[in-house]
Amino acid sequence: MSERDDLKSCAGYCQLVTEIERDEETSKSAHDYRGKLAWIVERAEHYSERLGVSVERVIDGWEAARDYWYMNYYQEANQPRLDGARVRVFETSEDLCDAIGAREFRCPACGGVSPNPYECESGVEVDGKPCDWKVYGLFRDLGRGVHVYSIEDMQGETIFMPIAWEDDE
């Protein structure tokens, strides 16, 4: 893969390339390290176009937040495409909080209202016990929450649908 000239001076990209080169030299696994790098760049280009910021800013933001192996961090669940009705982009985290309003979120599993955007605390019983469905984890269903993204932080996350946004659906 040829490196883009504009990325050669990007700190986050350089960090990724260094880690990938180290893994290529030391690992005996069959991971497609360069394929992962190509995916990261493609996804960062998508975010750049959608957010109106440079690819370098996107990658630097992701790398600043990453605290585990890049092969696990960079995936559809963490950097989904920013299209569709289940994605909302905000300039700042404050704008996001203002748009959410009251801390009321619809649990997609039981339909109850939870004050927690990540874990159901509605009190609705499912199979004889209070629902405790979570928006995160191994079996998360990205279609059952909403992905919110802050341009200021260059970070996003999936949460339960805020009640205030249900009329927009």
Predicted TM-score (pTM) of this structure: 0.84
SS3 track for 79-112:
CCCCCCCCEEEECCHHHHHHHHCCCCEECCCCCC
Least confident of 39-48, 77-86, 97-106: 77-86
Model confidence over 150-166: pLDDT tens digits? 999 999 999 999 999 98
> Rg of the Cα trace of the chain?
18
Quickly state the pLDDT bin for 37 (edges 50, 70, 90): very high
User: How far is residue 17's CA from residue 49's CA, in Å, rounded to a whole number?
Assistant: 23
Question: How much is the average pLDDT of 50-74?
Answer: 95
Asked whether the beta carbons of 86 and 128 are under 8 A apart, the reply is no
Model confidence over 116-141: pLDDT tens digits? 999 999 999 999 999 999 888 655 55
Q: Kindly state the DSSP code that residue 22 receives in the 8-state scheme.
A: H
Q: What is the pLDDT of residue 100?
A: 95
Tokens 């199979």 appear where?
127
